[in-house]
Structure 1
Amino acid sequence: RCRDDQHIHPFPLLNIDGCRALHIDGHQPDAAIHYAKLCREAGILTSLDGGGLRTNTHELLAFIDIAIVAERLCEQMDKTPEQMLDYLKSRGCTVGGVTMGERGLLWYDEAGVVRTLPAFPIPRERVIDTNGAGDVFHGAYIYSYLSNPSKGWHEHFKFARAASTYKIQKLGNEAGLPTLADIAAVKQEFRAEA
Protein backbone atom coordinates (compact mmCIF):
# COMPACT_ATOMS: atom_id res chain seq x y z
CA ARG A 1 0.00 0.00 0.00
CA CYS A 2 1.38 3.37 -0.97
CA ARG A 3 0.99 6.51 1.10
CA ASP A 4 1.42 8.82 -1.87
CA ASP A 5 -0.20 9.26 -5.25
CA GLN A 6 2.57 7.61 -7.27
CA HIS A 7 0.99 4.36 -8.39
CA ILE A 8 1.22 2.02 -11.34
CA HIS A 9 -0.56 3.54 -14.33
CA PRO A 10 -2.53 2.13 -15.86
CA PHE A 11 -3.49 0.01 -12.85
CA PRO A 12 -3.53 -3.78 -13.34
CA LEU A 13 -6.83 -5.24 -14.51
CA LEU A 14 -8.18 -8.00 -12.32
CA ASN A 15 -10.67 -10.74 -13.08
CA ILE A 16 -13.48 -10.43 -10.52
CA ASP A 17 -15.20 -13.69 -11.47
CA GLY A 18 -15.96 -15.51 -8.24
CA CYS A 19 -15.29 -12.43 -6.13
CA ARG A 20 -17.79 -12.09 -3.26
CA ALA A 21 -16.57 -8.86 -1.65
CA LEU A 22 -14.32 -5.91 -2.42
CA HIS A 23 -12.74 -4.10 0.51
CA ILE A 24 -10.82 -0.93 -0.28
CA ASP A 25 -9.37 2.09 1.48
CA GLY A 26 -9.38 4.62 -1.35
CA HIS A 27 -5.66 4.50 -2.12
CA GLN A 28 -4.97 4.31 -5.84
CA PRO A 29 -8.04 6.47 -6.54
CA ASP A 30 -8.47 5.42 -10.18
CA ALA A 31 -8.36 1.71 -9.35
CA ALA A 32 -10.60 2.15 -6.29
CA ILE A 33 -13.32 3.89 -8.30
CA HIS A 34 -13.01 1.44 -11.21
CA TYR A 35 -13.33 -1.70 -9.08
CA ALA A 36 -15.98 -0.27 -6.75
CA LYS A 37 -18.16 0.57 -9.78
CA LEU A 38 -17.46 -2.80 -11.42
CA CYS A 39 -18.25 -4.78 -8.28
CA ARG A 40 -21.35 -2.73 -7.47
CA GLU A 41 -22.68 -3.36 -11.00
CA ALA A 42 -21.94 -7.09 -10.60
CA GLY A 43 -23.79 -7.28 -7.26
CA ILE A 44 -20.58 -7.89 -5.30
CA LEU A 45 -20.48 -6.38 -1.80
CA THR A 46 -18.29 -3.29 -1.60
CA SER A 47 -16.73 -2.17 1.67
CA LEU A 48 -14.68 0.89 2.55
CA ASP A 49 -12.14 1.45 5.30
CA GLY A 50 -12.47 5.22 5.55
CA GLY A 51 -9.41 5.89 7.67
CA GLY A 52 -8.84 9.35 6.30
CA LEU A 53 -9.92 11.82 3.66
CA ARG A 54 -8.71 11.01 0.15
CA THR A 55 -9.13 12.88 -3.12
CA ASN A 56 -11.82 10.41 -4.19
CA THR A 57 -13.71 9.85 -0.92
CA HIS A 58 -16.92 11.65 -1.90
CA GLU A 59 -17.13 10.04 -5.36
CA LEU A 60 -16.10 6.60 -4.09
CA LEU A 61 -18.83 6.46 -1.44
CA ALA A 62 -21.47 6.37 -4.18
CA PHE A 63 -20.30 2.82 -4.98
CA ILE A 64 -19.88 1.52 -1.41
CA ASP A 65 -22.33 -0.78 0.40
CA ILE A 66 -20.59 -0.92 3.79
CA ALA A 67 -18.69 2.21 4.83
CA ILE A 68 -16.95 2.06 8.18
CA VAL A 69 -14.89 5.16 8.78
CA ALA A 70 -12.53 6.30 11.50
CA GLU A 71 -13.30 9.20 13.79
CA ARG A 72 -10.32 10.87 12.13
CA LEU A 73 -12.34 11.21 8.91
CA CYS A 74 -15.09 12.97 10.88
CA GLU A 75 -12.50 15.45 12.15
CA GLN A 76 -11.06 16.00 8.67
CA MET A 77 -14.54 16.68 7.27
CA ASP A 78 -15.60 18.79 10.29
CA LYS A 79 -18.45 16.43 11.16
CA THR A 80 -19.61 14.79 14.35
CA PRO A 81 -19.98 11.00 14.20
CA GLU A 82 -23.76 11.47 13.95
CA GLN A 83 -23.36 13.92 11.07
CA MET A 84 -21.02 11.45 9.38
CA LEU A 85 -23.72 8.77 9.52
CA ASP A 86 -26.13 11.16 7.81
CA TYR A 87 -23.48 11.92 5.18
CA LEU A 88 -22.84 8.21 4.52
CA LYS A 89 -26.58 7.63 4.14
CA SER A 90 -26.80 10.56 1.70
CA ARG A 91 -24.06 8.96 -0.43
CA GLY A 92 -26.09 5.73 -0.67
CA CYS A 93 -24.13 3.47 1.69
CA THR A 94 -26.45 0.68 2.87
CA VAL A 95 -24.62 0.32 6.20
CA GLY A 96 -22.33 2.94 7.66
CA GLY A 97 -20.44 3.50 10.86
CA VAL A 98 -17.78 5.39 12.74
CA THR A 99 -15.17 3.57 14.83
CA MET A 100 -14.44 5.51 18.00
CA GLY A 101 -11.79 3.46 19.79
CA GLU A 102 -12.65 2.78 23.41
CA ARG A 103 -16.10 4.34 22.82
CA GLY A 104 -16.97 1.59 20.34
CA LEU A 105 -18.84 1.79 17.05
CA LEU A 106 -21.68 4.13 16.14
CA TRP A 107 -23.43 2.75 13.08
CA TYR A 108 -26.67 2.41 11.16
CA ASP A 109 -28.17 -0.78 9.78
CA GLU A 110 -29.87 -1.56 6.47
CA ALA A 111 -33.09 0.07 7.72
CA GLY A 112 -31.21 3.26 8.62
CA VAL A 113 -31.60 2.67 12.36
CA VAL A 114 -28.69 4.15 14.32
CA ARG A 115 -27.13 1.71 16.76
CA THR A 116 -24.15 1.52 19.06
CA LEU A 117 -21.77 -1.33 19.71
CA PRO A 118 -19.77 -0.58 22.85
CA ALA A 119 -16.13 -1.57 23.02
CA PHE A 120 -15.30 -4.37 25.43
CA PRO A 121 -14.12 -2.99 28.80
CA ILE A 122 -10.44 -3.88 28.53
CA PRO A 123 -8.43 -2.68 31.53
CA ARG A 124 -5.98 0.02 30.40
CA GLU A 125 -2.98 -1.98 31.57
CA ARG A 126 -3.87 -4.70 29.05
CA VAL A 127 -3.94 -2.31 26.09
CA ILE A 128 -0.49 -2.74 24.53
CA ASP A 129 -0.72 -1.53 20.91
CA THR A 130 -3.74 -0.02 19.18
CA ASN A 131 -1.92 0.40 15.85
CA GLY A 132 -3.69 -1.79 13.31
CA ALA A 133 -6.81 -2.34 15.42
CA GLY A 134 -8.98 -0.75 12.74
CA ASP A 135 -7.45 -2.92 10.02
CA VAL A 136 -8.17 -6.02 12.10
CA PHE A 137 -11.74 -4.80 12.68
CA HIS A 138 -12.32 -4.35 8.94
CA GLY A 139 -10.73 -7.65 7.99
CA ALA A 140 -12.74 -9.47 10.63
CA TYR A 141 -16.15 -8.15 9.61
CA ILE A 142 -15.41 -9.00 5.98
CA TYR A 143 -14.29 -12.50 7.04
CA SER A 144 -17.46 -12.89 9.11
CA TYR A 145 -19.62 -11.76 6.18
CA LEU A 146 -17.91 -14.16 3.76
CA SER A 147 -18.19 -17.04 6.25
CA ASN A 148 -21.78 -16.33 7.28
CA PRO A 149 -23.50 -14.08 4.72
CA SER A 150 -26.96 -14.83 6.17
CA LYS A 151 -26.05 -13.21 9.50
CA GLY A 152 -26.79 -9.54 10.05
CA TRP A 153 -24.21 -6.79 10.25
CA HIS A 154 -24.65 -6.53 14.01
CA GLU A 155 -23.24 -10.06 14.29
CA HIS A 156 -20.41 -9.33 11.85
CA PHE A 157 -19.45 -6.22 13.84
CA LYS A 158 -19.57 -8.15 17.14
CA PHE A 159 -17.14 -10.67 15.64
CA ALA A 160 -14.91 -7.80 14.49
CA ARG A 161 -15.08 -6.19 17.94
CA ALA A 162 -13.73 -9.39 19.50
CA ALA A 163 -10.96 -9.59 16.88
CA SER A 164 -9.82 -6.00 17.43
CA THR A 165 -10.02 -6.46 21.21
CA TYR A 166 -7.55 -9.31 20.85
CA LYS A 167 -5.28 -7.21 18.62
CA ILE A 168 -4.90 -4.28 21.04
CA GLN A 169 -3.54 -6.64 23.67
CA LYS A 170 -0.59 -7.67 21.48
CA LEU A 171 2.48 -5.76 20.34
CA GLY A 172 2.85 -5.52 16.57
CA ASN A 173 0.52 -6.16 13.70
CA GLU A 174 1.43 -9.77 12.92
CA ALA A 175 1.39 -10.85 16.56
CA GLY A 176 -1.99 -9.14 16.89
CA LEU A 177 -3.72 -11.05 14.10
CA PRO A 178 -6.18 -13.31 15.91
CA THR A 179 -7.08 -16.88 15.08
CA LEU A 180 -10.67 -18.06 15.32
CA ALA A 181 -9.76 -19.60 18.69
CA ASP A 182 -8.39 -16.25 19.89
CA ILE A 183 -11.62 -14.51 18.88
CA ALA A 184 -13.71 -17.18 20.61
CA ALA A 185 -11.65 -16.71 23.78
CA VAL A 186 -12.27 -12.95 23.77
CA LYS A 187 -16.00 -13.52 23.25
CA GLN A 188 -16.00 -15.99 26.14
CA GLU A 189 -14.13 -13.60 28.45
CA PHE A 190 -16.57 -10.78 27.75
CA ARG A 191 -19.73 -12.85 27.31
CA ALA A 192 -21.63 -10.70 29.83
CA GLU A 193 -21.05 -7.63 27.63
CA ALA A 194 -21.78 -9.45 24.36
Structure 2
Amino acid sequence: MLSLGPRLAIVTLGPKGAIVAVQANGKPEIHHIEAPKVEAVDTTGAGDCFCGSFAHFFNANPDGDVLEMVRKAINIAAISVQRKGTQSSYPSLDELKALKIV
Protein backbone atom coordinates (compact mmCIF):
# COMPACT_ATOMS: atom_id res chain seq x y z
CA MET A 1 0.00 0.00 0.00
CA LEU A 2 2.78 2.43 0.85
CA SER A 3 4.28 1.98 -2.61
CA LEU A 4 1.18 3.72 -3.98
CA GLY A 5 2.08 6.96 -2.20
CA PRO A 6 0.59 7.28 1.30
CA ARG A 7 2.99 7.60 4.21
CA LEU A 8 0.65 5.71 6.54
CA ALA A 9 -1.70 2.74 6.23
CA ILE A 10 -3.70 1.12 9.02
CA VAL A 11 -5.50 -2.21 8.80
CA THR A 12 -7.76 -3.03 11.73
CA LEU A 13 -7.97 -6.64 12.85
CA GLY A 14 -10.80 -6.55 15.38
CA PRO A 15 -9.79 -8.43 18.53
CA LYS A 16 -6.27 -8.88 17.17
CA GLY A 17 -5.57 -5.12 17.09
CA ALA A 18 -4.19 -3.41 14.02
CA ILE A 19 -1.32 -3.41 11.56
CA VAL A 20 0.31 -0.03 11.03
CA ALA A 21 2.55 0.60 8.04
CA VAL A 22 4.56 3.83 8.11
CA GLN A 23 6.90 5.25 5.49
CA ALA A 24 10.00 6.29 7.46
CA ASN A 25 13.17 7.57 5.80
CA GLY A 26 12.15 6.01 2.50
CA LYS A 27 11.61 2.57 4.02
CA PRO A 28 8.36 0.98 5.16
CA GLU A 29 8.05 0.05 8.81
CA ILE A 30 5.36 -2.47 9.75
CA HIS A 31 4.01 -2.65 13.32
CA HIS A 32 1.40 -4.87 14.96
CA ILE A 33 -0.49 -3.19 17.80
CA GLU A 34 -2.28 -5.67 20.07
CA ALA A 35 -5.81 -5.14 21.33
CA PRO A 36 -6.64 -5.70 24.99
CA LYS A 37 -8.52 -8.89 25.76
CA VAL A 38 -12.15 -8.02 26.49
CA GLU A 39 -15.50 -9.79 26.52
CA ALA A 40 -17.29 -8.39 23.47
CA VAL A 41 -21.02 -7.77 23.80
CA ASP A 42 -21.68 -5.88 20.55
CA THR A 43 -19.04 -5.10 17.93
CA THR A 44 -21.34 -2.91 15.85
CA GLY A 45 -19.68 0.48 15.43
CA ALA A 46 -16.28 -0.58 16.74
CA GLY A 47 -14.54 0.31 13.49
CA ASP A 48 -16.22 3.72 13.44
CA CYS A 49 -15.17 4.23 17.05
CA PHE A 50 -11.57 3.34 16.16
CA CYS A 51 -11.53 5.59 13.07
CA GLY A 52 -13.11 8.55 14.84
CA SER A 53 -10.74 8.23 17.80
CA PHE A 54 -7.68 7.91 15.60
CA ALA A 55 -8.82 10.85 13.44
CA HIS A 56 -9.22 12.98 16.56
CA PHE A 57 -5.72 12.19 17.84
CA PHE A 58 -4.13 12.61 14.41
CA ASN A 59 -5.93 15.90 13.73
CA ALA A 60 -4.87 17.25 17.13
CA ASN A 61 -1.20 16.40 16.50
CA PRO A 62 -0.38 15.27 12.93
CA ASP A 63 3.34 15.06 13.74
CA GLY A 64 2.74 13.00 16.90
CA ASP A 65 3.43 9.34 17.63
CA VAL A 66 1.12 7.48 15.23
CA LEU A 67 1.63 4.15 17.02
CA GLU A 68 0.49 5.70 20.31
CA MET A 69 -2.54 7.18 18.54
CA VAL A 70 -3.44 3.73 17.19
CA ARG A 71 -2.97 2.18 20.67
CA LYS A 72 -5.34 4.73 22.17
CA ALA A 73 -7.91 4.27 19.39
CA ILE A 74 -7.79 0.48 19.84
CA ASN A 75 -8.34 0.85 23.58
CA ILE A 76 -11.29 3.18 23.04
CA ALA A 77 -12.84 0.77 20.53
CA ALA A 78 -12.25 -2.09 23.01
CA ILE A 79 -14.33 -0.19 25.56
CA SER A 80 -17.13 0.27 23.03
CA VAL A 81 -17.46 -3.44 22.19
CA GLN A 82 -18.16 -4.24 25.84
CA ARG A 83 -21.47 -2.34 25.61
CA LYS A 84 -24.59 -2.61 23.46
CA GLY A 85 -25.22 -0.11 20.70
CA THR A 86 -23.13 1.98 18.41
CA GLN A 87 -22.62 5.62 19.31
CA SER A 88 -24.20 5.02 22.72
CA SER A 89 -21.42 2.50 23.48
CA TYR A 90 -18.62 5.02 22.99
CA PRO A 91 -16.94 6.12 26.23
CA SER A 92 -17.27 9.69 27.43
CA LEU A 93 -14.35 12.08 27.70
CA ASP A 94 -14.59 11.89 31.50
CA GLU A 95 -14.33 8.10 31.33
CA LEU A 96 -11.32 8.28 29.01
CA LYS A 97 -9.64 10.75 31.36
CA ALA A 98 -10.32 8.49 34.35
CA LEU A 99 -8.74 5.58 32.47
CA LYS A 100 -5.80 7.84 31.50
CA ILE A 101 -6.35 7.21 27.79
CA VAL A 102 -6.55 10.94 27.14
The alignment's TM-score, normalised by the length of structure 2, stands at 0.83
> Following the alignment from structure 1 to structure 2, what is the Cα–Cα distance between the partners of residues 187 and 98?
25
Tell me which amino acid in the other structure corresponds to 1:171. Answer: K
> Which sections of structure 2, spanning at least 5 residues, go unmatched?
none
Is 1:114 the counterpart of 2:30? The answer is yes
Count of aligned positions: 98
Task: Report the secondary structure of 1:113's partner residue.
Answer: strand
Matching residue of 2:7: 94
Percent identity, please: 27
Name the one with the larger strand percent.
Answer: 2
2:19 is paired with a residue of what secondary structure?
strand
Go from structure 1 to structure 2 and tell me whether the alpha carbon gap of 1:129 and 1:103 turns closer, same or farther (over 3 Å shift).
Answer: same
Partner amino acid, structure 1, of 2:44: N
Higher relative CO (CA 8 A, sep ≥ 6), structure 1 or 2? 2
Larger Cα-atom Rg: 1
Q: Encode CA deviations 1:134-166: one digit per residue, 9 max, x unaligned.
A: 011000001011223331211211121121011
Q: Give the TM-score, by structure 1 length.
A: 0.46
Unaligned runs of 5+ in 1: 1-87, 189-194
Query: Alpha-carbon deviations, 1:16-74, whole Å to 9, x = none?
Result: xxxxxxxxxxxxxxxxxxxxxxxxxxxxxxxxxxxxxxxxxxxxxxxxxxxxxxxxxxx
User: In structure 2, do the counterparts of structure 1 residues 121 and 186 end up closer, same or farther at CA, with 3 Å as the change threshold?
Assistant: farther
- The 1:97–1:150 alpha-carbon spacing in structure 2 relative to 1, beyond 3 Å, is closer
- Structure 1 residue runs of 4+, over 3 Å off? 184-188
Displacement of 1:127: 1.1
Q: CA RMSD in A?
A: 1.8
In structure 2, the partner of 1:146 is 59
